[in-house]
Amino acid sequence: MKKILLSVLLSVPLWVLGQGFQVNLQGQKQIGMAGAGSALPLDEASVFYNPGAVTFLEKNSISAGVNPLLFKSAFKQSGSNITEDVKNKIAPPFEFYAVWGPKSNKWKLGLGVYTPFGGLVDWGDNWSGKYALTSLNLKAIYFQPTLSIKITDRIGIGAGFVYNHGDVNLQRALPVNFPDGRSGHVTLDGTGTGYGWNAGLYIKTLSNISFAIVHKSKVITKLDGGSAEFDVPNSLRTSFPAGNTFNAELPLPSTTTLGVGIPLSKSTTLAFDASWVQWHIYQDLSFDYATNTSALADTKSARNYRDGSSFKLGVNHQASDKLALRAGIGYAFSPVQDGYVTPEAPDADRYILSAGVGYAPTSHFEVNASFFFEDVKSRKQKNLETGLDGTFKTLVYAPGLSLTYKW
């Protein structure tokens, strides 16, 4: 007599991106300096930080590094006395670089493979916000072939083409119950690709103070034919058909960075980077399901991100020929406005602290280590769409290590 409409069950959107998904771990030296260093031709990681500085690298080199990242987020519902923590899972941001050019020539080629965006958050299947999200595993791997050219002895430009391979696995509970009382569950899993570019200008003034302007373009990553798997009671199977797929778009924002490098002494250099992350492109998130039913409509949810920004100050001290010490501090402003904070990206303004050490046993070989810490401010929020109401607090720990061979 009366058709049951279940559309309400799925009217809640499925994911968002935040500053929390921007992973600022692309080179051990720069990480040790809080992520500053676009105006310093420190090493092959300049492929990412400033393609314009790559041509000023003295040697050809190849390097690989990893920064096991622990994203420790906690949530306490408003009025509750229970703090819930994400599970300890280690995300593996990594970076690989190669830089090559004929010695004393005006150009260099570079290749970077790195992970500028990602997220690994697992709140468990039975936490209090499970109907908003249970887990997210997002990886964006950028491949960036790059050309860097010296225009003068003091000015370099460079640009790279970016190909992104993105993986997303997002899960949440559905508020429909099986006969044993447990909740339904949805898993969205997809792979996508996107394209962009990264270009930079490096200027070293006569006073040896250096400047950088770098722009990394947005990368709209299209997920086509991802699997949408609904674990629901069989009586609801017609509403949530098996083998369904979805299309979605992942708008990874552009970033513009202005950098300054200041040599304080022969052995000590300061680096300052100000970055503007143009998150405003993330206005809404849409899911287009291949099969729609009365319960499963396509969704379009407002995100209304504003632009984010960060300010980072780092210092590199060459203690000896072989040993370098680094430290940095920074501060980042969240792009997530009040009412849009979610457990996928429990984002807020954050402090950054870092330290690093580099050691070069020979002129060909170098090992660099870093430790990166972010204190994301406590933020009490009620999400406008899901009603999830509580306080998030996040700490991020990422030690890192890279090996470099130079010739």
Partner 1 sequence: MVREITMKKYILNSIVAATILFAASCKPEIETPAGTTAGNANFSKYIAVGNSLTSGFADGGLYLEGQQVAYPNLIAAKMATVGGGAFTSPFFTEAQSNGSGYLKLSALVNGSPTLTNVTDKLAYRDAAMHLAKYTGELQNLGIPGMRVDLAFAAPYGAANPYMERLLTDSQVGTVSYFQFIQGRNHTFFSLWLGNNDALGWATNGGVTTDATNVLTDKSTFALLYSNLVNALTAGGQKGVVGTIPDVTAIPYFNTVTVAALLNAAKAINPAAAAIYIQTSTGAPRIATAEDLIRLPFQSSGLFGVPNALGYPYGLDPRNPIANNWVLDKDEIVKVKDFVNSYNSSIKSLATSKGLAIADTYTYLNQVKAGIAIQGVNINSAFITGGAFSLDGVHLTPRGNAVIGNVFIDAINSTYVSTIPTIDISQYRGVKFPN
List residues near partner 1 by CB under 8 A.
1-6, 8-9, 11-12, 70, 72-83, 85, 88, 126-133, 172-173, 175-179, 181, 183, 232-236, 294, 322-323, 357, 359, 361, 367, 369, 371, 378, 385-389, 391, 393-395, 397, 399, 401
Length of the chain: 407
348 burial (CB, 10 Å; 0-12 / 13-18 / 19+) is buried
Q: How far apart are the C-alpha atoms of 368 and 323, rounded to whole Å?
A: 10
CB atoms within 10 A of CB 135: 22
Nearer Cβ to partner 1 (12/248): 12
Task: Answer yes or no: are the C-beta atoms of 91 and 118 closer than 8 Å.
Answer: yes
CB atoms within 10 A of CB 59: 16
Task: Answer yes or no: are the C-beta atoms of 303 and 282 closer than 8 Å.
Answer: yes
Q: How far apart are the C-alpha atoms of 73 and 395, rounded to whole Å?
A: 6
Going by C-alpha positions, the residue among 405, 402, 304 that lies closest to residue 29 is 402
Q: Measured at the alpha carbon of residue 17, what is the angle toward residues 63 and 95, in degrees to the nearest 5? A: 5
Q: Which two tokens stand for residue 345?
A: 């990206």
